[in-house]
Chain A
Amino acid sequence: MPSSRFGALRTGYITPGGQAMSSYAKRLVGVTVVAVVFCVAFGLYIGLYLINVPGSAAAVATASGDQLYLATVPAAELSDPHNTWVSYYAVNSTSGDWRHVTTYVLPANTLVHVTIFEYDSSTGLRNPLFSQPTGTVGPVLVDGKPTPVVNPTTPAHSFAIPQIGLSVPLEGVSSNAKNLCANAPCALSNAHFTVSFTFRTPSKGLYRWQCFVPCAAGFIQGNGGPMQTVGYMGGFIKVV
């Protein structure tokens, strides 16, 4: 039997020149194929991670200024992987579409009018300091009524951007109210409060926002799950 520098020849693989491939060459080819597949898979994983940016919603420019419509619900939509978690949603005021995103794109140094439809029931603030809205331009309106402070036991959620001092408590609906919404999306016919306020956006940059109510039912101290996961009770304000 002829031999080569790769070792003894084995039957099974025949090279284009008609020579059988040695076991060493076969191992070399195998290792190379595995390495290439691994590198491609790893590259795909990194590449997909880098381009897979969470969805965002932008403020809508209107004649009366930039408008951002949000909603807070007692539970995400049924198709959500965490459909028992409380969550924020972006609401398209024209089409009525709800989008499960918590990154909001706003123009820099601009007055933005925010309207939040609050469908959840009360949990209460852990720190009553946050019962007083701060950082807004003008009053906070709850169902159209100016509200300089709320009872600290009534908020269901809050919307706060600590880096700019914005903090707005969102009163919760009564748990005995008729027609409570269970899961997103909710309808305007469901029991809710409409909270509206205006604030001035800061300079360009990425800011975090969060809810300061420990509203994650079923988690220790109410601060697990949706409070610890971007996309539910916290996210980013991307100021452009």
Chain B
Amino acid sequence: MDKTPHFRNVVLLWLLAMAIMLPIVIWVLGPGLPPGNATVQSHGQVVDNIVLLATSTPVALAVLVYFGYALWAFRERNPEVVLDGPAIRGNTSVQFWWLVTTTVMVLFLAAFGTIRLLADGAGGGQGPNPISIPPHATGDPPLQVQVIAQQWEFTYRYPSYGGVETRQLDLPANTLVEFHVTSLDVIHSFWAYQLGVKADANPGEDNVAYVNTLRPLSFVVRCAELCGLWHGYMFNSGRVLPKAQFVSWITQQRQQYAPATKNLPPYSKTYFPQPLRRGG
């Protein structure tokens, strides 16, 4: 009978591997995880990703350590005699701790995810009646920006600036932005990766998402819902600008698009444009 304390050896090796890998995962790899730290929400997603990675690292290490240990410790030293080991028929202790450990992990992740979502919405679409409004240091009302998706371009309407609609998304820095995402035709998805915001654009629906901008940067907006022929080309760019520069930009946009603005319908959370009924 083999008296080698295999279980103790595996546990010790696992603890050693965790002592080495967890600091690397949390403090070396973690800060570089996507989507970056451009906004409060994207920073929150980096933290979430670090927690998820740190939670899954012990599991992955347990598998790898056991795999390596088994290869080494249970190798057949006498190839002439190949015998199978005794059959294992149930182990109450292992089963109990397996259930306890996995249940605790799943419940922890569910609670963690719920708390994080309720804290500030995590940059996700919350539907027409959001319940997670992020706190904002300045106390100013959020800047409303309507994201209008259509086959195949995003356009952006600023109700607090005369309802002007633009073809580029520019935002002021250090501002709480309240996106109202909707569509004029099929289902699209507004995804500004660097901002940490992603919200479905549904026709006839107002999907609200929040972002606290921080410093100036350039970002890309993409459609993340397969929406037809030119879905792959449905992207445009945006910028987070210092506030004075943003005011200058939006003033220039109001002048440039003054003729079209007169043709726009009054600002509304959703639109049912005429060709929608005529097209078919």
Contact = CB atoms under 8 A, between A and B. Distances in A.
Interface of A: 123-132, 134, 148-149, 151-153, 160, 162-163, 165, 208, 210, 212-214, 216-223, 227-230, 234
Chain A to chain B: the 6 pairs with minimum beta-carbon distance, closest first:
A222-B279, A132-B260, A149-B259, A128-B263, A214-B279, A228-B229
B228 A228 contact: yes
B185 interface: yes
A222 B229 CA distance: 14
B155 A127 contact: yes
Contacts of B273: 125-127
B259 to A, nearest CB: 4
A153 B274 contact: yes
A62 B129 CA distance: 59
Contacts of A131: 259-260, 263
B260 A219 contact: no
A167 to B, nearest CB: 8
Interface stretch (B12-20, B66-74, B101-109, B146-154): B146-154
Q: Pick from A216, A217, A223 the residue with the most CB of B within 10 Å.
A: A223
Interface string B145-181: 0001011110100000000010100000000000000
A183 B259 CA distance: 34
Given A127-B150, A162-B233, A210-B152, A219 B264 contact: no
Nearest to B152: A210
Contacts of A216: 279
A127 B184 contact: yes
A214 B185 contact: yes
5 contacts: A123-B275, A123-B279, A126-B273, A127-B155, A219-B280
Nearest to A124: B275
Interface in B234-280: 236, 257, 259-260, 262-265, 273-276, 278-280
A204 to B, nearest CB: 17
Contact of A149 (B165, B263, B276, B279): B263
Contact of A218 (B259, B263, B280): B280
B233 A223 contact: no
Given A134-B167, A210-B230, A221-B186, A129 B257 contact: yes
A35 to B, nearest CB: 36
B167 A219 contact: no
Given A214-B275, A228-B228, A127 B280 contact: no
B187 to A, nearest CB: 12
A162 B152 contact: yes
